Amino acid sequence: MDYQQLGIQILRLVGGKDNVNSLTHCATRLRFDLFDKNIVDCDAIMKLTGVISIVDSGGQFQVVIGNEVQQVYQAISQNLSNQEHGKVRSKKKEGILSYIIGIISTSFTPVIPALTGAGMIKALLAICKLMGVLSPDSHTYYLLDMLADAAFFFMPILLAYGAASKFSCNPILAMTIAGAMLHPNLGKLMALGQDVSFIGIPVKLADYSGSVLPIIITVWAMSYIERFAEKVTPSMIKFFIKPMLILLIAGPLALVIIGPFGILLNDLVAQGAGYINSKASWLIPMLMGGLQPFLIITGTAWAMTPIATGQLSRNGSEMINGPGMLASNIAQGAATLCVAIKTKNKNLKQLGYSAGFTALLGITEPSLYGVTLKLKRPLIASMIGGGVAGVYAGVSGLLRYAFVSPGLAGLPAFIGDNPMNIVHALVTCCIAIVVTFVLTWFMGFDDPIDEDDLIETIDTVSTLSSTNNSVAADLSNVILSSPLTGKVIPLSEVKDDVFSKNLIGDGIAIEPNQGKVVAPISGKVVSLLESKHAIGIKSDQGIEILIHIGLDTVKLGGQFFTAKVEQGQRVNVGDELIEFDLAAINQAGYMTTTPIIILYSDEYFVENIKKNMVTIGEDLILVKKSNQGDNHAL
């Protein structure tokens, strides 16, 4: 695939580079911060080859690409001009919740690679320690552990960059202020235990390492300070006066007011989560396990990230995101793989296997947007399975010790001092797989029609119509008798779009309980496929009828079907046309729903006579010439 060209097309369809305030990406999706979302051509983006889905939530316009997102991101980045910091275009107002989620998402997205890499080093050290390869007292272990801790210790500096992108201010100055909040001298003042003041204002000292909210709030305030400095600073001295003013105002504001307030918020949220966990340890993992797909779709999954990263930074483990996400991701993979096994659609099968294994490894967007969300019932099954597995994760006290995307590839992140923790993680995975797979299998899904089957059906009609292209003869009150015995169902309920949407004609369908098809009217057999699953008859009155035994049964290649007539043969009402092994076809996994279609129904008035059960030879369909050219199936 030409990812360079795909990136150019996406950029054009989101309104061009002038409509892009900022662009980031995560593991599977592009995340646009746009000035005007109303000019985005969503339909055209969805039709692009390589685009799985689009999501507009959390203050961002997101394009789901899959594992190749970075290549598309680089292609778009090459075509984006650098935005001048401090020059902000007006944007359409959004809801407060959407705005807050957008801030968290944009701030964390650039940080994810560092946190994931550091998390995997932590997991690797846990394995080495467990296997006795590295001693915790060795210098090698010490240095690697320090490397892994760096991303969490310097979290405010990393978040400052993303927050500056969101608020359109200078990222270097934002990172400088974050560096001041982590300066060793601040730690020395705290160690002295003395009262500290700034121009007479008492300063409450705090440890900002690993914190989230203080720096994000600070950068938000700094964006306004920067605009103020831009206005009041003379052009001749702006180069050095503007950054000085920003640091002089934003720095003390961060250390004296915003920082302590942010730490207080952090502590309150952490205490609230801890209280819930102490009273109902199963609740948070159950909710995360069951609702994670919904949170991803709505863009609110980022809401819990600050709490989880705060717990990891301070405690070395977390129970907010990891356990529930493990249950949810594994359940999503199980549902998608079940679809891949069960579907007869070749494209869906290929996508299901690829996206399913990717979801099991911890990346669920291709599975969610490409398979389960479209089919609906597998999504419901995955949410139930994730919730059930989440209950076990919570009751067992499952913890995540490193920031990685929870899945089979991230299981080492659940190895810690408690040797049973990884066992609980494995049991959580097993519960999610079994419950979800069984539910998906029995709940089923509407299998989309395979393009080859559509072509086959259209070819059947083309073969029938090419035999005689004459316009239907005049007729009145022609009644077709039933060619089968079984239950009558409306054509709209047939699980095949070619028939249910009347793409080739109107009629009725029958769920047969006997493997025998007879002629519904006297005429000539004008089409009989080699697979013997479909037969076309042209009646003496000129009506063209297609009887299609089962759905997708062309794939059986004629197995279980026996033709009793030949193409070109004349038949009378009640003559046997085809025998088929009803039980064998069902056992092979194919539906035997049989549509009886009046081709070119816009030329006729078609009325279904029977509404429930029917036997061979009973009146089934009334057909007469339509003067209006309308189709009137009742």
Q: Give per-residue pLDDT as tens, 4-55.
A: 888 888 998 998 888 888 787 766 778 888 888 888 998 888 888 888 878 7
- What is the DSSP secondary structure assignment for residue 186, as one 8-state letter? H
Question: What is the structure's pLDDT at 460?
Answer: 53
Question: What is the structure's pLDDT at 576?
Answer: 93
Whole-angstrom Cα distance, residue 402 to residue 400? 6
Question: What is the structure's pLDDT at 3?
Answer: 80
525 φψ region: left (φ > 0), alpha (ψ -120 to 50), beta (else): beta
What is the identity of the amino acid at 238? K
Do β-strands 604-608 and 196-198 pair in parallel, antiparallel, or remain unpaired? Answer: unpaired
Residues 1, 67 contacting (CB under 8 angstroms): no
Range 465-484 burial, b when 16+ CB lie within 10 A, else e: bebeeeebeeeeebebbbbb
Summarised one tens digit per residue, pLDDT across range 424-437 is 999 999 999 999 99
Q: What is the pTM of this model?
A: 0.59
> Which mean pLDDT values do the consecutive 10-residue runs of the chain (634 residues) have?
84 88 76 86 86 75 78 82 46 62 74 80 82 87 88 88 86 93 86 82 84 89 92 85 92 90 78 75 87 76 72 80 92 94 85 88 83 90 94 92 84 85 94 96 80 54 48 61 91 82 84 93 88 88 88 84 91 92 88 87 69 86 64 41
Question: What is the structure's pLDDT at 338?
Answer: 95
232 φψ region: left (φ > 0), alpha (ψ -120 to 50), beta (else): alpha
Tell me if residue 627 falls in helix, strand or coil: coil
Question: What is the structure's pLDDT at 333?
Answer: 94
Whole-angstrom Cα distance, residue 465 to residue 600? 10
DSSP result, 418-441: STHHHHHHHHHHHHHHHHHHHHHH
What residues pair up with 594 in beta bridges, in sequence order? 510
Question: What is the structure's pLDDT at 86?
Answer: 40
Question: How many CA atoms lie less than 13 Å away from 286 in the CB half-sphere?
Answer: 12
Range 558-586 burial, b when 16+ CB lie within 10 A, else e: eebbebebeeeeebebeebbbbbebeebe
Question: What is the structure's pLDDT at 42?
Answer: 87
Residues 372, 382 contacting (CB under 8 angstroms): yes
Helices 259-279 and 283-298: angle between axes, nearest 10 degrees:
120
Whole-angstrom Cα distance, residue 416 to residue 84? 46
Phi/psi of residue 431, nearest 5 degrees: -60, -45
- Who contacts 74 (Cβ-Cβ below 8 Å, separation ≥6)? 7
Whole-angstrom Cα distance, residue 335 to residue 380? 9
Residues 579, 491 contacting (CB under 8 angstroms): no
Question: What is the structure's pLDDT at 469?
Answer: 44
Of 403, 216, 210, 417, the C-alpha closest to 313 is 210
Catalytic residues: 26, 548
Whole-angstrom Cα distance, residue 323 to residue 414? 9
Question: What is the structure's pLDDT at 484?
Answer: 93
Tokens of 492: 């709209």
DSSP result, 460-486: HHHHHHHH--PPPPP---EEEEPSS-E
Residue that the structure tokens 């400095």 belong to = 229
Helices 377-395 and 420-443: angle between axes, nearest 10 degrees:
160
Evaluate the CA torsion angle 396, 401, 406, 410 in order and state its sign: negative
